[in-house]
Amino acid sequence: MSAGPTPARGARVVDLRSDTLTAPTPAMREAMAGAPVGDDVYGEDPTLNALEERVADLLGHEAGLFFPSGSMANMVGVRLLVEPGRELLADVTSHVLRAELGGHGALGGITSRTWSDGLVDGSNPARVLDARVPLALMVPDAGPYLVSTAAVAVENTHNFGGGTVQPLDQLQALRSGTEQAGVALHLDGARLWNAHVATGVPLDVYGRLFDTVSVCLSKGLGAPVGSVLVASAERVAQARVLRKRYGGGMRQAGVLAAAGLHALENHVDRLAEDHARARRLAQACAAAAPGSVDPGAVPTNIVVLRTGTRSGTEVAAAAAERGVRVSALGPHMVRAVTHLDVDDTDVDVAGTVLGEVLAG
């Protein structure tokens, strides 16, 4: 069901640009209003402490730390594993390298190299991990002439690939290969909840494969703010120092943590509804505009639609004029994301509009 202010159906805009757009539900707002709080820089916010413990426990790690954003959680999580002047390997379309505005280099002194297998020839647009690729790129102890690889970052689900769930056997192969080489692993798990719901793989099975894991509460789970980084207790103690240094020390942030705890209780299993709606949207688009999307290849809540010869921007603008908002993702692609504030009617309206615009 939709939450927040809802205009009359005639005027309603279906906003599928991102799952970050959700407004807190009334029940979530109530949980926030009633939360016991304290000063978190002193470590004294009981609600925040409870959230950090809960997420660490879910992901099979010793400790957790709350962050105001996924970008900051990734920046600190990676920095714990990579000293300045050493390198991080990641997919060329990864959020850590494409969408965090160079923070890992600018603030962490970290260099990076990317892999892009199957992107140019179109054989791997979803950016499904093949562990052999990063393992072949690694140079763990490069000596005095080349940059040494300190860590590899993986994104699950992979946003710019279209909500791709990374195969567990590839994650396991990556873990054993990096471990043998003494290279660390970071997981950008902004949407790990979606991977867990789509596959049934327990969260801690994913979590234990990585040295640091960031997860977001503000995407599919519908909280207004917040991410949690989990790791060993020793690393989380270091992360607390880095977070303060980056300006991320918060005070009575228990009001935000209460939203996260509420989301963990109430909004994880329902992600299956977002996944079903994403497939339904893809089916409508594929029926009206064959070739725009393969509905069988929509694993979670993100639908990437090919716009043919027209630009993504042009198609997004035409859909917006008819009350459906999507993001232009590439020169000939748009992205539609289902979320807590999108219901079946919204998806049917969006399917009709997008189908007609794409066929147009």
Ligand X SMILES: Cc1ncc(COP(=O)(O)O)c(C=O)c1O
Tell me which stretch binds ligand X (CB under 6 A): 63-71, 81-89, 258-266, 319-327.
Answer: 63-71
β-bridge partners, 67: 227
Tell me which stretch binds ligand X (CB under 6 A): 69-77, 144-152, 245-253, 254-262.
Answer: 69-77
Least CB distance from residue 68 to ligand X, whole Å? 8
Least CB distance from residue 206 to ligand X, whole Å? 14
Least CB distance from residue 5 to ligand X, whole Å? 23
Q: Which of 55, 197, 216, 319 binds ligand X (CB under 6 A)?
A: 216
Q: Which x/- pattern, by CB under 6 A, does the window 229-268 give for ligand X?
A: ----------------------------------------
**What contacts 17, CB < 8 A, 6 or more positions away?**
325, 326, 327, 335, 337
Spatial distance between the Cα atoms of 78 and 87, rounded to a whole number of angstroms: 10
Least CB distance from residue 142 to ligand X, whole Å? 28
Q: Which of 22, 47, 71, 93 binds ligand X (CB under 6 A)?
A: 71
Q: Which of 46, 42, 51 is nearest to 250 (CA)?
A: 42
Angle of CA points 307, 311, 315, to nearest 5°: 65
Least CB distance from residue 42 to ligand X, whole Å? 25
Q: Which of 51, 76, 190, 198 binds ligand X (CB under 6 A)?
A: 190
DSSP 186-224: EEEETTHHHHHHHH---HHHHHTT-SEEEEESSSTT--S
Angle of helix 46-58 versus helix 254-266 axis, rounded to 10 = 40
State which residue, 318 or 337, has the beta carbon closest to ligand X. 337
In sign, the C-alpha dihedral spanning 105, 245, 235, 186 is negative
State which residue, 22 or 159, has the beta carbon closest to ligand X. 159
Task: Note whether 301 and 19 are within 8 A (CB).
Answer: yes
| Region 81-110 residues binding ligand X, contact defined as CB under 6 A | 95
| Region 119-178 residues binding ligand X, contact defined as CB under 6 A | 155, 159
The token pair at 14 is 């279906």
Tell me which stretch binds ligand X (CB under 6 A): 30-38, 70-78, 254-262, 318-326.
Answer: 70-78
DSSP classification of residue 39: -
| Region 4-23 residues binding ligand X, contact defined as CB under 6 A | 20
- Alpha-carbon torsion angle 158, 160, 162, 165, nearest 10: -10
State which residue, 316 or 318, has the beta carbon closest to ligand X. 316
Spatial distance between the Cα atoms of 248 and 75, rounded to a whole number of angstroms: 12
Spatial distance between the Cα atoms of 287 and 44, rounded to a whole number of angstroms: 55
State which residue, 76 or 289, has the beta carbon closest to ligand X. 76
Assess 188 for contact with ligand X (CB under 6 A). Answer: yes
What does the binding site for ligand X look like in residue numbers (CB under 6 A)?
Answer: 20, 69-71, 74, 95, 155, 159, 188, 190, 216, 218, 227
